Structure 1
Amino acid sequence: MSTEQIPLSRLDSSHERTQRVLIEVADVLGHKWHPVILTQLLNGEHTFSELSAAIDDVSNKMLSDSLSTLEAEGLVDRKVVSEKPVRVKYTLTPRGKELESVLDPMLRWGREYLFNGEVDEMRKPTGPRLPDRSGEEVANDE
């Protein structure tokens, strides 16, 4: 008898239930900025300004919307620490901290398969190829 653990994804006898769980997880973690924000908060509490400065290329509106969504999902706590000027600190809830065991393998997989050995070297986007005006195919980056 093998002592290797069977992956949880293969233990679930309900195909429909497995799909529903994966869809729900992807809904939370599939947003572009959610894993980035969660990973940043794994290092401890941050103010909005600290998060904005630490996360490259995220707009304040997108950061605010993402934090609100993560808070509604029960992954992030928001605490007002001063009234004037208003300062808010964000931390992970215990449920949010549990995602470290999900985010770490995502990072390992991404570094191994999405980059050519260099984290700074982003791969070209994939997706539908649309012909440009010259007739050559270009990636649809929408």
Structure 2
Amino acid sequence: MSTEPIPLSRLDNSNERTQRLLIEVADILSHKWHPVILTQLLNGEHTFSELGTAINDVSNKMLSDSLSTLESEGLVDREVVNEKPVRVKYTLTRRGRELETVLEPMLKWGREHLADGRVDTTQQPTGPRLPDRPGREVVDDE
């Protein structure tokens, strides 16, 4: 296997198409709770309440909104179970399960590069590193 990077413009024979694809994938995975929910569902089906219990600090509204978005993206299936009480089960679709190959490297990279693999629960996620934000330095990609 070659260690030479493939130029991004060659990935889809079109730099414009590559950029559009990256933006669409990032749009789905950049939501704070989407990768967490997807990773939880990789372990099998869960009810709404099981997901709410398993995922720290997510509100019921945010979980519901996130599940609806993931369902509309074709990544999550929602099934109403007609029992008493009525339950809703969530599972990953084939497309959703295929994201495991994306989520695993994200976790690996995070363990290797973010706070020595430890997660600082006191710090809120940051946005882009902009020059006028105190405590943040601008990263020069060149």
Q: When the two structures are superposed, what TM-score results if normalisation uses the length of structure 1?
A: 0.80
Q: How many residues align?
A: 130
* Alignment check: 8 A CA contact 1:115 1:122 kept: no
* Alignment check: 8 A CA contact 1:75 1:96 kept: yes
Query: 1:67 and 1:8 mapped to 2: Cα distance?
Result: 35
Q: Secondary structure at the match of 2:88?
A: strand
Between structure 1 and structure 2, the one with the greater Rg is: 1
Deviation at 1:83, TM superposition (A): 5.0
The residue identity in structure 1 corresponding to 2:82 is S
* Alignment check: 8 A CA contact 1:116 1:123 kept: no
Q: CA RMSD in A?
A: 2.3
Query: 2:103 and 2:89 mapped to 1: Cα distance?
Result: 22
CA offsets 1:29-77 (integer angstroms, 9 cap, x no match): 1100000000000000000000000000000000000000000000000
Unmatched runs of 5 consecutive residues or more in structure 1 = 131-136
* Alignment check: 8 A CA contact 2:11 2:18 kept: no
Alignment of 1:5-16 (within 5 A): 7=6, 9=8, 10-16=10-16
Moved more, 66-75 or 7-16: 7-16
More strand by share: 1
Moved more, 82-91 or 66-75: 82-91
Unmatched runs of 5 consecutive residues or more in structure 2 = 137-142
Q: Secondary structure at the match of 1:4?
A: coil
Give % identity: 70
Change (3 A) 1:79 1:94: same
Q: Secondary structure at the match of 1:116?
A: helix
